[in-house]
Amino acid sequence: MARAERPLSPHVQIFRWYFTMALSIAHRISGVGLAIGLVLLTWWLTALARGPEAFAVVQAATDHVLGGFVLFAYTFVMFYHLGNGIRHLAWDLGYGFEKDETYRSGVAVLAFAAVATLLVWILLLAF
């Protein structure tokens, strides 16, 4: 019997990237980002407990432009992961599996994350 010279499963090169697939991968990456962010939260909390000198170091890091960007990005990642988690919960309940519904819910998750992040930072900078 002649053996076919073709792959047994599709190659990554022939997959078409879909919006929902990118959001799923981003959800996993955001989970890793949240776990890494817990290290920063732990650093902040231990510096708070160690005293003013240790806390001043953390405060200087967060007051830097790069530190502010990291905090802003962490806020976005947190809201994105929350919104996409709720989306996945709806899927677990059997809702939103139509192609147009998955696209709209993905856009809604991104919009929620962006708006919630901006609102939090506007409130933080206002006070």
**Domain 20-126: top CATH class:** mainly alpha
Domain boundaries, the chain: 20-126
Buried b or exposed e, range 23-62, using 16+ CB within 10 angstroms: beebbeebeebbeebeebeeebeebeeeeeeeeeebeebe
pLDDT in tens, 9-24: 666 667 778 899 999 9
Provide the token pair at 13.
């090169």
CB 118 within 8 A of CB 100: no
pLDDT in tens, 98-125: 999 999 999 999 999 999 999 999 999 9
How far CA 8 is from CA of 5, 11, 15, in Å, comes to 9, 9, 14
Provide the whole-model pTM: 0.85
